[in-house]
């Protein structure tokens, strides 16, 4: 009796190769642009944090101290974004989805922390009827921060839209907040110099809290990206 010839099994199809999950060339270019923005953010925020905190201590200024702490929070946010972008660049888009959720939630938590600090520092200033003292270093720094933060935030929002990244949008919101805090600090410093209006700084800083809380909730829940859920 003739035995049937054995049939060699074909090798299984690879369903999840690295090539399938690797980002496209266009997306890689966008990620590299985002990397450059985050490294620029790290460089500027390092300068901003050191100068603002030193000026705040020297002038006994709650606003400049808050501004410096905000810069430290932005440093953490930029470092978080660099990690999230590196995950996608080196491990593929499928792996970046978990990193995106983690980064988005941490970004939301940082926004909540910043809102809490703004409320606490404003409340403390109003309770003690204590405004900031004038600081030339603080004025120069905060005036320079306004256009720098505007440029960084605008570019980050555009890239967040194209990448579909809630985490990057949260980071952009923090840059916008830093710009508004800069504007508030400039107004407070000038008011303190010209008319001695101690109360203007804590009052105006409270205006941005609703914005921080709204964006923090959206980043934490993974909603409101404004850029769609797909990552193509």
Our CA angle for 132, 135, 139, nearest 5°, is: 100
CB of 27 closer than 8 Å to CB of 98: no
- Alpha-carbon radius of gyration of the chain: 23
Residues in the chain: 232
Q: What is the pTM of this model?
A: 0.69
- What CATH superfamily classification does 24-221 receive? Cation efflux protein transmembrane domain (1.20.1510.10)
pLDDT digits (tens, 9 = 90+) for 72-94: 888 888 888 888 888 877 776 55
Please state the rounded mean pLDDT for residues 66-71: 80
If one compares 165 and 153, the residue with the highest pLDDT of the two is 153
Q: How far apart are CA 184 and CA 186, in angstroms?
A: 5
Please state the rounded mean pLDDT for residues 124-131: 73
pLDDT digits (tens, 9 = 90+) for 198-229: 777 677 777 778 777 877 887 787 654 444 44
Please state the rounded mean pLDDT for residues 108-114: 83
pLDDT of residue 142: 92
CB of 166 closer than 8 Å to CB of 27: no
Closest by CA position to 160, among listed 174, 181, 179: 174
Q: How far apart are CA 67 and CA 167, in angstroms?
A: 22
CA of residue 200 relative to chain centroid, distance: 26
């Amino acid at each position: 009796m003739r035995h049937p010839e054995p049939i060699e099994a074909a090798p299984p199809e690879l369903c999840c190769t690295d090539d399938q999950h690797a980002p496209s060339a266009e997306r890689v270019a966008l990620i590299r642009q985002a990397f450059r923005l985050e490294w620029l953010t790290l460089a500027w925020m390092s300068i901003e944090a050191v100068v603002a905190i030193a000026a705040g201590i020297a002038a006994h200024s709650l606003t400049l101290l808050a501004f410096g702490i905000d810069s430290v929070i932005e440093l953490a946010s930029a470092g978080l974004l660099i990690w999230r972008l590196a995950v996608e660049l080196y491990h593929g888009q499928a792996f970046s989805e978990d990193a995106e959720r983690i980064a988005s939630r941490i970004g939301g938590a940082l926004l909540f922390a910043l809102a809490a600090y703004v409320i606490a520092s404003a409340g403390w200033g109003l309770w003690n009827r204590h405004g900031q003292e004038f600081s030339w270093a603080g004025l120069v720094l905060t005036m320079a921060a306004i256009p720098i933060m505007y440029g960084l935030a605008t570019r980050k929002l555009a890239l967040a839209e194209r990448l579909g990244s809630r985490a990057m949008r949260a980071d952009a919101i923090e840059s916008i907040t830093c710009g508004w805090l800069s504007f508030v600090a400039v107004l407070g410093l000038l008011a303190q110099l010209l008319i001695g209006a101690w109360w203007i700084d804590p009052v105006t800083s409270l205006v941005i809290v609703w914005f921080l809380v709204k964006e923090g909730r959206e980043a934490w829940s993974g909603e409101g990206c404004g850029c769609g859920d797909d990552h193509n």
